[in-house]
Amino acid sequence: MSTEYLLAIESTCDETAAALIDSHGSVLAECVATQEFLHEKFSGVVPEIAARAHLERILPVLDTALKESGIHPDALNAIAVATFPGLPGSLIVGLSAAKALALAWNKPIVGINHIQAHIYACGLGLTESIYPCVGFIVSGGHTSLYRCQEPLGWDYLGGTIDDAAGEAFDKVAVMLGLPFPGGPALSKLAAKGDRQAIRFPRPLLEDKERLDFSFSGLKTAVRYRIAGPSDPSQGAASLDEQERANIAAGFEQAVIDCLIAKAMAAVKKTRAKRLCVGGGVAANTSFREQLTLVCQARNVELVIAKPQWCTDNAAMGALAWEKIRRGQFDPLDLDVQPGLVRPKR
């Protein structure tokens, strides 16, 4: 079978990325430009700044990926781009670039679902299909469970009713005086703490039937632990290093317990034999290790995306091959759908 080539573009949030992927699923080249230093002083992603940064980075990123792959634009079969969900301005930059290249090079365009692509990334490099499975997205913007019959056929099972897990990590990191991005910094601090020293609440954990998550109350509990309800002006500076580490460890463990419990409940409810996990929080070492042990004990096959493909990247744009093989291309008037989280059925 002859080899075909795909250019994929990712710009849903604050990562500008491009990748060249062949029809066998091999990632020939990829380039990711981060924006962490631009958002650090705000302790979070600022949408307008993210969109402007994408504008500056999109062409160099595309040029780098194409040159490293050695693939000439004439050899491309299509251009893929994530069109939902994400930040409106960021999505528009990626889609505009994809449309311009599709028109200039006379190539078809394929819009893809960023959430579905995160789960598809779990199978990159594998010879066997990961479907059917329970798909679990755990990131800064999403914490959701899906029944995935195949790459493009999904049913929503449940998700966060307030903050996403990664968002909670970032906000608690700010409370503890840690640098942005908060997730990795908090996990590093947690490694020095005692996970049993402080037991924070596990929201919705007792509701076995409901496959939803809530982390806002957990954040409040951490805030009170740091400062106390009587003096909210006090911050982490008043704590010694071990107390800060114990708070980080207790918080991280509470989140992990919620994530694992709901994932296992979803597997039981759907009678699935496989759990696939993607998204930035899936790179968390403690989460990966604990989830692996639980799945082994329950005889559930676990497939977690490789760490480099957990955070936003363009390699997961390989999902577009599934649409290309079905002849599902998009017109040049394709638009972004920023708020659409549940995949179309």
Q: Where are the alpha helices (DSSP H) in 207-284?
A: 216-227, 241-270
For residues 169 and 18, what is the distance between their CA atoms, to the nearest angstrom? 27
Phi, psi of 181 (to 5 degrees): -75, 140
User: How are beta strands 143-150 and 153-159 bridged, if at all?
Assistant: antiparallel
Tokens of 125: 């490099």
Task: Name the strand (E) or helix (H) holding 10.
Answer: strand 5-10
For CATH 3.30.420.40, the residue range(s) in the chain are 5-115+312-324, 125-304
Packing angle, helices 165-175 and 216-227, rounded to 10: 10
Answer whether 27's CB lies under 8 Å from 318's CB.
yes
With tokens 């755990």, the residue in question is 138
Per-residue pLDDT of the chain (345 residues; tens, 9 = 90+): 689 999 999 999 999 999 999 999 999 999 999 998 899 888 889 999 999 999 999 999 999 999 999 999 999 999 999 999 999 999 999 999 999 999 999 999 999 999 999 999 999 999 999 999 999 999 999 999 999 999 999 999 999 999 999 999 999 999 999 998 889 999 999 999 999 999 999 999 988 789 999 999 999 999 999 986 555 556 777 789 999 999 999 999 999 999 999 999 999 999 999 999 999 999 999 999 999 999 999 999 999 999 999 999 999 999 999 999 999 999 999 999 987 554 443
User: How are beta strands 16-22 and 76-84 bridged, if at all?
Assistant: unpaired
pTM: 0.93
Answer whether 122's CB lies under 8 Å from 304's CB.
yes
The C-alpha angle 165, 166, 172, rounded to 5 degrees, equals: 90
Superfamily of domain 125-304: ATPase, nucleotide binding domain (3.30.420.40)
At the topology level, CATH places domain 5-115+312-324 in: Nucleotidyltransferase; domain 5 (3.30.420)
For residues 211 and 261, what is the distance between their CA atoms, to the nearest angstrom? 9
Please tell me whether residue 207 adopts helix, strand or coil conformation.
coil
